[in-house]
Structure 1
């Protein structure tokens, strides 16, 4: 599983192009979209048909379903029963499972455990830092001082010395740290960090590359956090000022070493990249180790990390909790994950639901045959939920929590069925507000401003190469509440053609401006 050295810089260039597109959007938000409001369902259908029939979509696949939440009637459908790649709209499935399994108020703990007695302030055995899947640990506004909180609680319990090791344990999740179907070339990128039960700082690292003052000398690298990569091999050089930079970054999946090679032009601006952290549990353990020292707790042993599938009898069955920090409520965690389409959050939440499902199956003597990962347990629970709400297996095939897998498939009709179900739950209004809001926040912040859709459409976006999707809710100009799924696959943008997402926006604007009734 190797990533071609040149592929990562290309992906960075794509990200830069995305930020450029955002800048263009910011510059043009004062423009009012020229959408003609429809007054009948027939006019609405004709307007949408005209959008998707554009010649540039001749080789693409559209699937659309629009349902009234008020009457249950279908206002528009186009290949609504065809399976299509979902991209990140699959996160709606994870959200449904998490709310069904955990509820809205569950808080995810991160704990300090001991299995040996404390004698005169000395812990006779090891100290266990137990991660249980919190993806928000050490993020802005959420337990940024988590390590000091835990160390302070430990000191308050009378411990001033740990005779054994500090064990950073992320084995709460069983299975690989990459979700099923995730592509190897994505695994060093910020959007596909390892899904760890002991996650910290969203499992990402910022790397700044800047040229030296003299051509021929080694370029300078600065990591933030500084200790996130145990080993960096830097052969990046500084080239002449009139050359084009060629910065290459590579870390093999599962490897702790980051390689930086190529060259950066002298006197050029420093370049910043966001990368996936190599071993979040290791880094979390290092942060706690430093906090213990700050609070006067001496660690006589070493820091070691426990990953699945390593076998180590650390006595969790007899462990006592001495300290813990809690995540925000699950609904808040979902808001953070859905607004920004944060893959780590939804992949971790799926696995937390999987742990709960595995425990429930054990209680009723219904274990699965053979070993299942916590991700697979989560998907098994999701399939059961979909069966209960009437979505057949052939209409929805999801295999990870984030929607990063190209094997994630659903029909638009299944997506709207799910949205209708979610809207009817006691938390329906809260769930709607976790979604990006057109022209306001999240991945829709710069889209559909100054249109009828602005501050009206609440929808989950989904984008990957050749795929654009959106699914959510809108209220029409006549006050009718709609659930919709718009899915575009096999789309290729050429030359100066408008972004495919602009056509999805135009359809949502048509729905928002609709003056008739379904």
Structure 2
């Protein structure tokens, strides 16, 4: 999921019903006129054409493919071989390669390691917190108490004193923390957090801005958690009106707040990316160790790629570990919520596995590839096996944030057909947002034939809207569909284009004919 860049947040928040719907889970404010059911393919095509041929779409690009999972026949196609930006529907490609490379049941470890002996409760060296890509670490519904779990296991092993540093190590992933093609202006925002092998609390920090009681005095900045931002320069003052500006340069940990917030106004809240998740994870662990009576003599250090490994992790002993939920559970949460960190991290885990397999096979070295690039390489190999040609799907990242991602509607449907034929096919279908019930479709297509019927991944970027997934028709035929809209410049008074995508899905759900 991707939202517009929020530098001057006060101008953006609450500006449109579509943005409010996505952020706050509110219903969209488009016309909910029900569609008229059809019974022949010609009627269905005419009804879909009426949706996409409206004058406001004259300069836009549609790509649509609808194929029966039961017969393999095409029910409808419009520019189905046109390359378009898929936005977050690209997460379906990531899901495919992750399931193919790792499987449904893998649980991602986060470990405490030691490379020196333990003598009478004293660790004669540094303690290493080793992340291996778990994006759910510290999330409220999984291992929220992960640091205490590790500390208690360390106590149970007899350690009460560490005579070295605490090292937070996220070098399990090789490569930059931002995905390929991610825009620099997005990187301070909650939807484009660093994809770190040592992620914690989804790498998001909350910020509340509160005015002073006196005009001209500094505004208060309250962070949740309070110490997740390492450097803050606050030049934000209380004034006559609100003009809140928040800026952190790519690669820099300093957050600058400047402008003004209106006196006597309500507090303003924002969600920002944590600049250094590994460092923050280390601070949480150190606090937990102290709570459980384990003293660290040294400093907290972080080890990031491309720093050389000085800790000899390959020779380390595991003293404690916590495990993520099974991979399919993580995928479900990531797909339902369109959670970018989850899918970007999973792609890189698949990349690490693919790299290890390639090295064990002893083939020629491709030179340095990032973990992300190894994952994309594995994806290309999978697509070749499926029969999806390289010129019909070019994916650069795991989340769908890249503007370089391209796919045709036909390639999307071919991917869906492959996924539905796998042993995990039903699980994956259920992992997609369910129309009218949950995820990014919770407030869409309610009280229609599509409700609790359409299971589909949404995709949203500026000027891009997509919907890709499965539906069963009124006559019981199972369909895979891809509806992609690009280059649509919406006027302020126009209804959201998501309504037109939904109307097409509703037409498919209400279709009384057969392919």
The TM-score bracket by the shorter chain reads over 0.9
Kindly indicate whether residue 142 of structure 2 is the aligned counterpart of residue 142 of structure 1.
yes
Matched-pair contact (CA < 8 Å) for 2:18–2:496: no
Kindly indicate whether residue 301 of structure 2 is the aligned counterpart of residue 304 of structure 1.
yes
Aligned residues: 510
Structure 1 counterpart of 2:490, from 490, 493, 516: 493
Mapped partners of 2:84, 2:465: distance in 1? 11
Alignment-derived partner of residue 335 in structure 2:
338
Mapped partners of 1:18, 1:34: distance in 2? 20
Q: Give a deviation string over 1:430-484, Cα, whole Å, max 9, x none.
A: 0001101110011101111101101110000000001001100000011100000
Superposed displacement of residue 317, structure 1: 1.7
Higher mean alpha-carbon deviation, 297-306 vs 363-372, is at 363-372
Please, what TM-score do these two structures have when normalized by structure 1?
A: 0.96
Matched-pair contact (CA < 8 Å) for 1:358–1:367: no
Superposed displacement of residue 229, structure 1: 0.8
Superposed displacement of residue 103, structure 1: 0.6
Alignment-derived partner of residue 58 in structure 1:
58
Change (3 A) 1:464 1:155: same
Superposed displacement of residue 88, structure 1: 0.4
Superposed displacement of residue 25, structure 1: 5.7
Q: For structure 1, which runs of at least 5 residues remain unmatched after alignment?
A: none
Matched-pair contact (CA < 8 Å) for 1:102–1:353: yes
Q: Give a deviation string over 1:256-284, Cα, whole Å, max 9, x none.
A: 11110000001000000000001000000
Alignment-derived partner of residue 289 in structure 2:
292
Mapped partners of 1:412, 1:296: distance in 2? 58
Mapped partners of 2:299, 2:11: distance in 1? 38
Mapped partners of 2:6, 2:285: distance in 1? 36
Q: Give a deviation string over 1:470-515, Cα, whole Å, max 9, x none.
A: 1000000111000000000000111311111110010000000000
Matched-pair contact (CA < 8 Å) for 1:32–1:450: no
Structure 1 counterpart of 2:499, from 502, 506, 511: 502
Matched-pair contact (CA < 8 Å) for 1:398–1:407: yes
Alignment-derived partner of residue 440 in structure 1:
437
Mapped partners of 1:290, 1:187: distance in 2? 28
Mapped partners of 2:364, 2:202: distance in 1? 32
Superposed displacement of residue 82, structure 1: 1.0
1:266-285 equivalences under 5 Å are: 266-285=263-282
Change (3 A) 1:434 1:27: closer
SS of aligned partner of 1:83: coil
Please, what TM-score do these two structures have when normalized by structure 2?
A: 0.97
Change (3 A) 1:154 1:6: closer
1:44-83 equivalences under 5 Å are: 44-83=44-83
Matched-pair contact (CA < 8 Å) for 1:167–1:306: yes
Change (3 A) 1:27 1:96: closer
Alignment-derived partner of residue 257 in structure 1:
254
Superposed displacement of residue 230, structure 1: 1.0
SS of aligned partner of 1:84: coil
Kindly indicate whether residue 440 of structure 2 is the aligned counterpart of residue 471 of structure 1.
no
Superposed displacement of residue 17, structure 1: 5.1
Matched-pair contact (CA < 8 Å) for 1:25–1:447: no
Change (3 A) 1:300 1:367: farther
Alignment-derived partner of residue 455 in structure 1:
452
Q: Give a deviation string over 1:38-76, Cα, whole Å, max 9, x none.
A: 100111011101111100000000000000001000000
Change (3 A) 1:200 1:506: same
Alignment-derived partner of residue 176 in structure 1:
176
Matched-pair contact (CA < 8 Å) for 2:396–2:404: yes
Mapped partners of 2:225, 2:346: distance in 1? 25
Superposed displacement of residue 10, structure 1: 6.8
Kindly indicate whether residue 89 of structure 2 is the aligned counterpart of residue 89 of structure 1.
yes
Mapped partners of 2:487, 2:450: distance in 1? 26
SS of aligned partner of 2:212: coil
Spell out structure 1 runs of 4+ moving beyond 6 A.
none
Q: Give a deviation string over 1:346-394, Cα, whole Å, max 9, x none.
A: 0000000000000000001125421100000000000000001110101
> What RMSD over aligned residues (CA atoms) do the two structures have, in Å?
1.7
Q: For structure 2, which runs of at least 5 residues remain unmatched after alignment?
A: none
Superposed displacement of residue 141, structure 1: 1.5
